[in-house]
């Protein structure tokens, strides 16, 4: 069984268009076990019900941004080792440094191509 057959992913993005593009790309890669949440708070609720291997999260979201979600994930023993890919339209040094301090696994700048997403995911979970 390949990585993509076992991989469970949670996509967190408040924008339905962005979320849809990520979900469509993952489906195109053959990743079938994918859930989504509209913000960090809903993502934490989802993780409490069903753990995942990888979180793909937007940075800029209402209620709880991607860095706060990453902090919450890393602060919980049950989710601390979950892969985390942060996506943002801004790639300034402060954001990247904050993500690194919180043990972000990878970062992707919007806009991106499906091949960019695949490479970023594979750098965290291995070859799909």
**pLDDT(76) > 90:** yes
Specify the pLDDT at position 32: 94
Residue 95 belongs to some domain of the structure: yes
Q: Mean pLDDT, to the nearest integer, of 48-77? A: 96
Residue 127 belongs to some domain of the structure: no
Cα end-to-end span (Å), the chain: 11
**pLDDT(64) > 90:** yes
- Average pLDDT over the chain reads 96
- Confidence label for 1 from pLDDT (cuts 50, 70 and 90): confident
Residue 96 belongs to some domain of the structure: yes
Count: domains in the chain: 1
**pLDDT(59) > 80:** yes
Whether the CB-CB separation of 122 and 128 falls below 8 Å is answered with: yes
Residue 111 burial class via C-beta count within 10 angstroms: exposed 0-12, middle 13-18, buried 19 and up: exposed
Percentage of the chain modeled with pLDDT above 70 = 100
Could you read off the pLDDT of 86-114 as tens digits, one per residue? Answer: 999 988 899 999 999 999 999 999 999 99
Bridge partners for 60 per DSSP: none
Specify the pLDDT at position 91: 85
Residue 42 belongs to some domain of the structure: yes
| Tokens, residue 86 | 């942060």
- Report the CATH number that the domain containing residue 114 is assigned in CATH: 3.40.50.2300
Residue 12 belongs to some domain of the structure: yes
Angle (CA) 84 89 91, round 5°: 75
Domain coverage including residue 98: 3-122
Specify the pLDDT at position 16: 96
Q: Under DSSP, is residue 35 helix (H, G, I), strand (E, B) or coil?
A: strand
Residue 60 belongs to some domain of the structure: yes
């Amino acid at each position: 069984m390949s990585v993509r057959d076992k991989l469970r992913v949670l996509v967190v993005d408040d924008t339905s268009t962005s979320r849809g593009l990520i979900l469509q790309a993952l489906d195109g890669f053959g990743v079938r076990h994918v859930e989504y949440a509209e913000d960090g708070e809903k993502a934490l609720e989802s993780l409490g019900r069903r753990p995942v291997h990888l979180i793909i999260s937007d940075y800029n979201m209402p209620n709880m941004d991607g860095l706060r979600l990453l902090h919450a994930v890393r602060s919980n023993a049950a989710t601390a080792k979950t892969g985390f890919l942060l996506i943002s339209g801004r790639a300034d040094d402060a954001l990247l440094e904050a993500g690194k301090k919180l043990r972000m696994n990878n970062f992707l700048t919007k806009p991106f191509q499906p091949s960019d997403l695949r490479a970023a995911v594979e750098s965290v979970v291995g070859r799909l």
